[in-house]
Every structure is written in C-alpha cells, then in structure tokens.
Amino acid sequence: MADKVNLAAQFGRFDDHWSPKIVATLNDYDVKVVKVQGEFVWHQHDETDELFLVTAGQLRIRLQDRDDVVLGAGELFVVPRGMRHCPVADAETHVLLLEPRDTVNTGDAERTGTAGTRLD
Amino acid sequence: MADKVNLAAQFGRFDDHWSPKIVATLNDYDVKVVKVQGEFVWHQHDETDELFLVTAGQLRIRLQDRDDVVLGAGELFVVPRGMRHCPVADAETHVLLLEPRDTVNTGDAERTGTAGTRLD
C-alpha cells in the first residue's frame, strides 16, 4: 500500500515545468503535482473533466468563450470535458491535478504531451 | 458550468462535524469538504479507494493490521478499497475528500451515513 503524500515534499523533488508527476492513485484516477510557469498550449480533453487545485502561486485558466478563472492557493476549478482551455502562470505556481489515468496534459493539441511520470 | 471553489470560504460556511459537503464534481466523482473532530466509526468501502487531503489540523487514520497514518495540512492519503479504517482528530480538522458519487461516509458500518450534501 502506498504511503501518505506530503505535497510540499513532493514539489521539492523536481524543478521542471509543465511535467506532471504522479504522486497517488485513486481507483483509475491519478493525482499529479506539477510546477507551471509561462503559458501552456490551448487544448481540450473530450473524454474527461480535469481538476486543478493550486497549492502555491497563482494560475490563470483561459477558457474559450468565457472569462478566465484565476486560482490562488487553496482554490480549485474543474474544467469540463470538451472545453478548450489554456493554463498560464506569470510566476512559478504549484498545482495538484486530478484526472483519469493516461490523460495527456496537452489533450487534443498537436504538441507532444505526457500523462505524467511517477516520482519513485 | 460551476465556478471556482475557494476551500477556506467553503469551510467557513458550516460548522457541523462528520457531514461532508459536496463542493465540486469531476466526472462521476465528488469533491467534498468535511470538518471532523473526535473519533468516527470503523468501516470500509468495498467498491472504492478514498482520498483524504488535510487542509488544516491533523487527522489520524487508524487502519486495520497496519500502523496509523497521521496527516497534517498539505498531506494526503488514499485508503485502498476494502481496508477497514477509522478517522480520528483530537482537534477540529479540515479535510478534502474525493470519492465516487454516492459513496457513503460510513461505508459498511451499520450506522446511518451520508454521501454528502451540496452547499448551495
């Protein structure tokens, strides 16, 4: 059985941006942590909602045809399936992601994405 | 579409213990917040894992046949399906729960449980 996860300790184990690390699994969902800075790519996930929970910093989620959502620490937002979105962070921001296993971070975008790697 | 969720603001909206409030939905999973204090009831969920993320305070999760897991703020643990567990908190503790919709907090225990209510 997996041990408990200290989020701050996990964030301290890597420095790269936009590269989710799987820290826990719940049924067929992965809990990932990711450091982000700058602008990602516009994309959508046609098969699943996607949960963002900010633990440090500020994340702006640009959304097609509606106002941006701006998340500070302790705020979460669920991007509905099929909604185009683009995450942006002016300064480095720490985000917990929750989504079904094998969900690729770039969704339908033509840029190569990742479903996350495991921190051993 | 649902708005963003500020966890501290949601915790400020209720005072009762062991009564999860649904604050977001991700596919067929509910994100719940719950204030806990004292000892809950031993139970298990045969159909699902259950994620606990502490946002304030300290939660001890007693587990059958293995050491307790003690979670402080910013720590999470996934109780595997079928594992008997009993959450305990000496002082009021704030917990984010994630589990499939309609998961009842008391699992197989004979005490009446709840799958959570929605904060309007």
Which residues in chain B have Cβ-Cβ distances shorter than 8 Å to A24?
A: 51, 76, 78
- Give me the pLDDT at residue B120, please: 67
A120 pLDDT exceeds 70?
Answer: no
Which residues in chain B have Cβ-Cβ distances shorter than 8 Å to A6?
A: 74-75
Domains plus CATH for chain B?
A: 7-106 (2.60.120.10)
pLDDT digits (tens, 9 = 90+) for B8-48: 999 999 999 999 999 999 999 999 999 999 999 999 999 99
**DSSP readout, A24-84?**
EEETTEEEEEEEEEEE---B--SS--EEEEEEESEEEEEETTEEEEEEETTEEEEEPTT--
B4, A55: Cβ pair inside 8 Å?
no
A74, B55: Cβ pair inside 8 Å?
yes
Average pLDDT rounded to a whole number, residues B45-61: 97
pLDDT digits (tens, 9 = 90+) for A39-68: 999 999 999 999 999 999 999 999 999 999
Look up the pTM and report it: 0.94
- Give me the pLDDT at residue A112, please: 75
Distance (Å) from the alpha carbon of A107 to chain B's nearest alpha carbon: 16
Distance (Å) from the alpha carbon of B46 to chain A's nearest alpha carbon: 12
